[in-house]
Structure 1
Amino acid sequence: MNKNTKYIIYLILGLIVLNVINQSFYKRFDLTADKRYTLSKTTNTIISNVDKILFINVYLEGDFPSEFKRLQVETKQYLEELAAENSNIKIHFENPDNQRENLVKKGMLPSQLTVEEEGKLSEAIIFPWAEINYGDKIEIVSLLPNAIVASQDEQLQKAIENLEYSFSNAINSITQKKQKSIAVITGNGELPDIYQYSFLNEVAKKYRLAKFTLDSVATNPQQTLKDLASIDLAIIAKPTQLFSSEEKFVLDQFIANGGKTLWMIDNVQADQDSLFNGGKMLAYPRDLGLTDLLFSYGIRINTTLVKDLYAAKIPVATGQVGNQTQFQNLEWFYHPLVGGNPNHPITKNVSPVRLQFANQIDTLKNNIKKTPLLVSSLLTQKVGTPTFIELQSIADEVLETDYKSGNQLFAVLLEGNFNSAYKNRVKPFETSLFKENAINNKMIVIADGDVGKNQILKEQPFDLSRDKWTNEQFGNKDFLLNSVDYLLDDVGLMNLRNKSLQIRMLDKQKAFKERTYWQFLNVVLPLILLFIFGFVFNYLRKRKYS
């Protein structure tokens, strides 16, 4: 065997060994500064539960604005990371043009974008959606956030930041074998079902939802507490009737036994419908008997109303033309339009939330961690109750000097070890489930019972995210859904919403102004250099060999 043959054999054997090593060991490296393609522990935990084929169809293929090609590329690279971690995850990018009607029927509404190219504006329609199929389950994923943004570049950045949360949340939801349970508390004059439909219909897509009445407390409080203790979350939406001591004890011990709670409380009787019907109404404190219960958890909901110069609009009759009443949408300061805490996953990237006749929350010192979620603007005024409110006051001259009460707290997240309000008190009834405190529990208190109340249009519930009269959009539904998800989140999924990335965007105006320079630099100059090199090379070659 000659020397060359040996080299060839060694080379072949080396290539075989390298190929075996390549098949046995697989590693991807994330070289980005912000580690945008490195999956979090939460995501790794979620996708490890995918034990059969999971298909992800992404409708970001075809002809659409160049800047949204970036979203396509980022989505593809992120999903490739998921597929690399779990071979059961299959990805497919699809052009939506031939199936638009079918996608709309599934709830995937198109987005209309304003595109700027060469200094000219045009409109484009894209379907920024993905569909996940897992067995007989289907989940759709929105790839564009609903938050109010200053520009499409900012919208694109938020969309890319939200990719991990959006897909992880959907995969977690579709692969869960046991749904968590939520009780909608009734029996104390809470909001009727039709006024909670828009919010609860979305909740029911992800969790087991059922009504739970406290009326049975009067006849069998021990059994009522036992039944409620098996629930993961209780929603108390705008109660209007006094809670008995037994009912409060049931709620207290539900919390002490680890139950999560979402409170939407009005401590003042004030209703928008009454105001529209008579043009005037009396707003007065409402006694629900919950003050001592909430006080033990470290908060107090006051009986003052808050007016805010940053407010939502309502339709007001301003005159008549012929027999037709003319309406104008005017800002109603009793409907604060409040911003969310930008540093918390519940409210990050959520549009302003509309409140109606909201009350102010005071926090008290104790061992509970309190995180503000919804806060008013600085330009507020406190209105004590009882007081008369007249619709015609909407036309009064506004003096900023009257609105100097500063930021007011409307919603707060409480986390920690909750002491029972009955720890050192006589109990309304005896129960074997009694606990003096809850370990690592959570609750959210919102000082407005109407935050989750949708309007009615033609006897059908209207979308909570939109006003049927003014067509304004609000973040109420997103805020409440995020609140529910956070309270029931055991794997830390909601924290992925706090992910921040540095996306470097192209300055379109600068690029348009300097386009001739960059076209010359990138197209013409290389050709000139290549021509000069060829000319010099040919000249030197002729000179050498002539």
Structure 2
Amino acid sequence: MEQIRKKESIQMIWVIAVIAVILGISNSFYHRFDLTTDQRYTLSETTKDIVDEIEGPLFVKVYLEGDFPAEFKRIQTETRQHLEELRSLNKDIVFQFINPLTKTNELIESGLQPSKLSVQENGQVSQAIIFPYAVLEYKGKKQNVSLLSEAPATSQEEQLQNSIQNLEFAFTDGINKLVQEKQKSVAVLRGNGELSDLYLYSALKKLGEYVHLAEFTLDSSETNPQNTLKELQKYDLALIAKPTKLFTENQKFTLDQFILNGGKTVWFIDQTTAELDSLMDTGNSLVMNRDLGLTDLLFAYGVRVNYNLTKDMYASTIRLAAGNSGNQTQYEDFPWLYFPLIFSKNNHPINTNLDPVFLRFPSTIDTLKNSIEKTILLHSSPYAKIIGTPADVSLNEIAENPTQESFNQKNLIYGVLLEGEFQSAYKNRIKPFSIQSATDESVYNQMVVVSDGDLIANDVLRGEPLPLDQDKWTKKPLGNQQFLLNTVLFLLEDQSILELRAKQVQIKFLDKEKAYREKGFWQILNVLLPLILLMLFGIIFNYIRKKRYTS
């Protein structure tokens, strides 16, 4: 018996020593084994590369501490686990969870707006306020990260899934803005009646977080075209935002050679004069064709922006006076079929996971047969209609009752990505001016053409620009700003960040009604089952021990 007890004591000491070693290793080493089918906990190479560039402390304050709905504790858990995963890659990442109720006024003043949630617990529905944000600080710079997705969702469960799905992108994008120096540059073209800074404020503010922006005028191409081209070629991309004046041959040839020498371009083109402001003044507007002189240029690259308008049964609204109540004018939102809402097919990194894109009086685009690869980024619903121009547009059209029989044109093209070796529009033609580096065929290049110049134009209210990423009246999220950003990042070969936005995960949610209905059963089971198992273990253990030492 003495030897048996001694042997058992030695075994117990070894067990305790092994457990201590395991605990010591686990405290200094963090790793999660991702056994999920969607690999939701496996970090992308992009995230690893960006986190590896952190040199010095990066502080993360997460405002998800305290008493808030149980279902949204899932975001807290997922956020904590994600940050632990990031910290395992780089020990310079330091994070803490803070109760936002202790700093409510400070958070609101810093621009972090609370979210109101409907919570269903124990069969009761109540309201809860949370601050779903993290604030990153690195070398004196700060970056806010929203943890609650604003993508359209039919339920809070879907919104939660979108938020968890977006976690890696949100943090990686925020860290990237802090650690990366801007390297690419974008020329915002001026001189041909393009959108002013007031209407581009929201778009350029967002772009400015990622790239260098500068105005560039093509006016000097009339007097010194060679130098104009040389200066333009210092930029990586040219943004053409709703020009309204005719391009001269010198200006067109400058753009042509910029493209053929590797410069990227994004075209937002209006081929008609349709404007809501003029329509609201009189109730009627004669829409005419707008000649920008760009047809031959774009035709050579493989597309044609048509002189027409379109109407779509999937459309946004306009707000009009609908009567009076006392001395107050009453306003109402009416469907306006000239303002299509474009829902993406998620067929490319540029348009994946986008909110609806809002267009105003778009024309159609035809793609031409040539060697250029074409990817459709924006297109109409299956229930659209082409209106030839000139056309008389009237506000009285809101009273019309559209039918599917008359709206029978589908997938009309509004935005297209072109990729390949472009042919010069001036091939086999007399060049407007001579340059030493003139070429008739480009290296592999890319451009995006959109047939609505207003896609990137924010609304203005009382002289102040409004956000481009939400509807002026309904405040519903729009994908216009993100579409522009995705386009620019893709063309500038910063595609890795876009791929993170496309990451899909499937979260299993609790059936609340079933849980409430079976609540008592599971409570009893959770209390009694451990006691029964413990009792069985004791009985079996005593039986084995008694049999062993009495034999």
TM-score strictly above 0.5:
yes
Deviation readout 1:492-538 (Å, 9 max, x if unpaired): 22111111112111111222222233223222454466668879999
- Asked if 1 retains the 8 angstrom alpha-carbon contact of 2:119 and 2:128, the reply is yes
* Gap change, CA 1:539 and 1:434, over 3 Å in 2: closer
Task: Check whether the contact 1:238–1:265 (CA below 8 A) recurs between aligned residues.
Answer: yes
- CA apart distance, 1:358: 0.6
268, 273, 278: which one aligns with 1:269: 273
Aligned to 1:463: 467
AA in 2 matched with 1:253: Q
> How far 1:349 moved relative to its partner?
2.6
Q: Distance in 2 between matches of 1:16 and 1:121?
A: 47
For residues 414 and 487 of structure 1, what CA distance do their matches in structure 2 show?
Answer: 10
Per mean C-alpha deviation after superposition, the further-off stretch among 238-247 and 23-32 is 23-32
Q: CA deviation at 1:278?
A: 1.1
Aligned to 2:3: none
CA contact (8 A) 1:313 1:330 kept: yes
TM-score, scaled relative to structure 2: 0.89
Query: C-alpha deviations, 1:241-294, integer Å up to 9, x for none?
Result: 111111111112222222222211111111111111111111121111111211
**Deviation string for 1:297-351 (max 9, x for gaps)?**
2211111211011111112233344554433210011111111232433323322
Q: Which residue of the other structure, out of 133, 137, 152, is the alignment partner of 2:137?
A: 133
1:172-203 Cα offsets, whole Å, 9 max, x none, are 22111344212111111111211111221222
TM-score of the aligned structures, taking structure 1 as reference length: 0.90
Matches within 5 A, 1:254-403: 254-321=258-325, 323-403=327-407
Query: Which shows bigger deviation, 467-476 or 91-100?
Result: 467-476
Q: Does 1:63 align with 2:67?
A: yes
1:7-49 Cα distance to aligned partner (Å, 9 max, x none): 9999999999999999999865333332222222222222222
Q: Describe the superposition over 1:455-480 as per-residue Cα deviations: whole angstroms up to 9, x where unpaired.
A: 22121112223344454442222222
- The Cα offsets for residues 385-417 of structure 1, whole Å up to 9 and x where unpaired, read as 111111112112323211111121211222333
DSSP-derived class of the 2:38 partner: coil
Name the structure 2 match of 1:157.
Answer: 161
Whole-angstrom CA distance in 2 between matches of 1:64 and 1:27: 29
| Alignment match, 2:33 | 29
Bigger mean CA offset, 9-18 vs 161-170: 9-18
Counterpart residue number, 1:39 = 43
User: Which shifted more, 143-152 or 479-488?
Assistant: 479-488
2:266·2:447 contact (CA, 8 Å) conserved in 1? yes
Change (3 A) 1:135 1:532: closer
State whether residues 56 and 91 of structure 1, in contact with CA within 8 Å, keep that contact through their aligned partners in structure 2: yes
2:435 match: 431
Give 2:353's aligned amino acid.
N
Deviation at 1:367, TM superposition (A): 3.0
Rate the CA distance shift 1:15–1:73 in 2: closer, same or farther, 3 A: closer
CA distance in structure 2 between the aligned counterparts of 1:337 and 1:491, rounded to whole angstroms? 25
CA distance in 1, matches of 2:54, 2:501: 22
Identify the match of residue 505 of structure 2 among 494, 501, 504.
501
Match of 2:181 among 167, 177, 182: 177
CA displacement at 1:449 relative to structure 2: 0.9
The root-mean-square deviation of aligned C-alpha atoms, in Å, is 3.4
Q: 1:87 to 1:424 in 2, by over 3 A?
A: farther
Task: Give yes or no for contact 1:329–1:470 (8 Å, CA) kept in 2.
Answer: no
Mind listing any 5+ residue stretches in structure 1 that lack a counterpart?
none
Over residues 429-476 of structure 1, what are the superposed CA-to-partner deviations in whole Å (9 max), with x where a residue is unaligned? 122343444434332221111111122212111222334445444222
Q: Write the mapping of 1:85-164 to structure 2, written as runs, cut at 5 A.
A: 85-164=89-168
- Aligned residue for 2:252? 248
Alpha carbons of structure 1 residues 146 and 230: separation in structure 2 relative to 1, 3 Å: same
How many corresponding residue pairs? 541
CA distance 1:250–1:20, shift in 2 (3 Å): same
Distance of 1:74 and 1:115 partners within structure 2: 20
What SS is found at the alignment partner of 1:226?
A: helix
Check whether the contact 2:342–2:378 (CA below 8 A) recurs between aligned residues.
yes
**Which residue among 469, 475, 478 is the counterpart of 1:474?**
478
Secondary structure of the structure 2 residue equivalent to 1:340: coil
Which has the larger displacement, 313-322 or 298-307? Answer: 313-322
Matches of 1:506 and 1:350, distance apart in 2 = 27
Is contact 1:341-1:372 (8 Å) kept? no
Query: Which string of whole-angstrom CA distances, capped at 9 and with x for unpartnered residues, describes residues 347-369 of structure 1?
Result: 23322121111111122233333
Are 1:50 and 2:54 an aligned pair? Answer: yes
Which residue among 227, 234, 246 is the counterpart of 1:230?
A: 234
SS of residue paired to 1:251:
helix
The one-letter code of the counterpart of 1:475 is: G
> 2:171 matched to which residue of 1?
167
Which moved further from structure 2: 323-332 or 504-513? 323-332
Unaligned runs of 5+ in 2: 1-6
Instruction: Give the Cα separation in 2 of the matches to 1:173 and 1:343.
Output: 27
Partners in 1 of 2:27 and 2:327 — Cα distance?
80
Question: Which amino acid in 1 is paired with 2:341?
Answer: L
Decide whether the 8 Å contact of 2:489 with 2:495 is kept in 1.
no
